[in-house]
Amino acid sequence: MQDLNHLRRLEAESIHIMREVVAEAENPVMLYSIGKDSTVMLHLALKAFYPSKLPFPVLHVDTTWKFREMIEYRDRLARDLDLDLIVHTNQDGVAQGVGPFSHGSAVHTDIMKTQALKQALEKYKFDVAFGGARRDEEKSRAKERVFSFRTAQHRWDPKNQRPELWNLYNTRKAPGESIRAFPLSNWTELDIWQYIYVEKIPLINLYLAAERPVVEHDGTLIMVDDDRMPLGGKEPEMKMVRFRTLGCYPLTGAVESNATTLTDVIQETLLTTTSERQGRVIDHDAAASMEKKKQEGYF
């Protein structure tokens, strides 16, 4: 009898976690960010519940600053897969004109992402939300549980986490409290790429290199995705670039690359010598910044 290889093990574990949530939660939701991890999570969910339709809606928090291509891709995918897609934007933030250029990345992310997510969870009364976070991404995530408990104020208390033994997850909670479930906890970035390759999962083209208009901003290449971008007298240049992570376009650094196919991208990723979150402008804060953000409710 051949043993399961590591990808099949990870797949089975993720499916188990998702089924557990659906069996126990009253009103679960899957957070979908359009990135590669979210895409793998969605693919696993389709597998877990086949031939049933996804037994929960998919939530996208739209900061209004995402790449336009992401929004088109999202809507097409929702149609093709017959998803129950919910898009939420923090309208208070929109009314105040909050954006990354006018308010800086920290305020923008807090209001349009963290606060927006809390609003959406409260508005729809979701009690369990799937997130695509991996433990290998960052040190404080290495200690987060698969079923991570949030107070009624959406706060995470790293010192007071429930012990999590075997595959027996404790899903009990009081009214108002919620759980973030992380089915990809034990995946690494390489596992994600390998799985995309093996399962032939279609990805958004922003991961592939193409000629795109960019300007240099504090040493980072930023794509000029629309005319809200203040150019400061600089002319956008057409460069062969691609993105290693996806988010708000003004906060997502492009990397110069000639990787135009999935295997090129995987090859480049494997040979690269800087870690993944470097491309995200938001993480360049103090040492324990992610832990702090998470205590406040960042995913």
Partner 1 sequence: MTHQSDLIAEDVVAYLKAQEQKSFLRFITCGSVDDGKSTLIGRLLYDSKLIFEDQLAALEADSKKVGTQGQEIDFALLVDGLAAEREQGITIDVAYRFFSTDKRKFIVADTPGHEQYTRNMATGASTADLAVMLVDARKGILQQTRRHSFIVSLLGIRHVVVAINKMDLVGYSEETFAAIERDYRTFAADLGFETITCIPMSALRGDNILKASEDTPWYTGPALLPYLEAIDVDRDRSGAPFRMPVQWVNRPNLDFRGFAGTIASGTVKVGDAIKVLPSAQTSRVKDIVLYHDTLDSAVAGQAVTITLDDEIDISRGDVIATAEEPPEVADQFEAKIIWMADDALLPGRPYIFRAANRQMPGVVTDLKYKINVNTLDHMAAKKLELNEVGVCNISLDAAIAFDPFQDIAEMGAFIIVDRMTNNTVGAGMIDFALRRASNIHWQALDVDKAERAVMKKQKPAILWFTGLSGSGKSTIANLVEKRLHALGRHTYILDGDNVRHGLNKDLGFTDADRVENIRRVGEVAKLMVDAGLMVMTSFISPFRSERRMVRELVEGDEFVEIFIDTPLEVCAERDPKGLYKKAKAGEIKNFTGYDSPYEAPEAPDLHIKTVDQSAEDCAEEIVRYLEDNGYLAAV
* Beta carbon nearer to partner 1, 196 or 224: 196
Cβ 270 vs Cβ 264: under 8 Å: no
Q: Is 176 in the site for partner 1 (CB under 8 A)?
A: no
* Beta carbon nearer to partner 1, 198 or 238: 198
> Which two three-digit tokens encode residue 89?
């934007």
CA dist 10 and 195 (Å) reads 10
Q: Is 166 in the site for partner 1 (CB under 8 A)?
A: yes
Sign of the torsion formed by the C-alpha atoms of 236, 242, 248 and 251:
negative
Count the alpha carbons within 13 Å of 227 in the hemisphere toward its beta carbon.
Answer: 0
Count the alpha carbons within 13 Å of 282 in the hemisphere toward its beta carbon.
Answer: 22
Q: Is 189 in the site for partner 1 (CB under 8 A)?
A: yes
Q: Is 174 in the site for partner 1 (CB under 8 A)?
A: yes
Site size toward partner 1, by CB under 8 A: 69
* Beta carbon nearer to partner 1, 16 or 88: 16
Binder of partner 1 out of 80, 211, 233, 273 (CB under 8 A): 273
Q: Is 194 in the site for partner 1 (CB under 8 A)?
A: yes
Cβ 281 vs Cβ 252: under 8 Å: yes
Q: Is 284 in the site for partner 1 (CB under 8 A)?
A: no
* Contacts to partner 1 from residues 34-93, by CB under 8 A: 46-53
| Sequence-ordered list of residues with C-beta below 8 angstroms from that of 299, at least 6 positions apart, any chain | 31, 117, 131, 133, 180
- Nearest 5 degrees, angle CA 38-CA 45-CA 14? 85
Q: Is 257 in the site for partner 1 (CB under 8 A)?
A: no
Residues that bind partner 1 (CB under 8 A): 1, 3-9, 11-13, 15-16, 19-20, 22-23, 46-53, 135-136, 139-140, 142-143, 158-159, 161-168, 170, 172-174, 185-186, 188-191, 194, 197-198, 263-264, 266-267, 270-276, 278, 287-288, 291
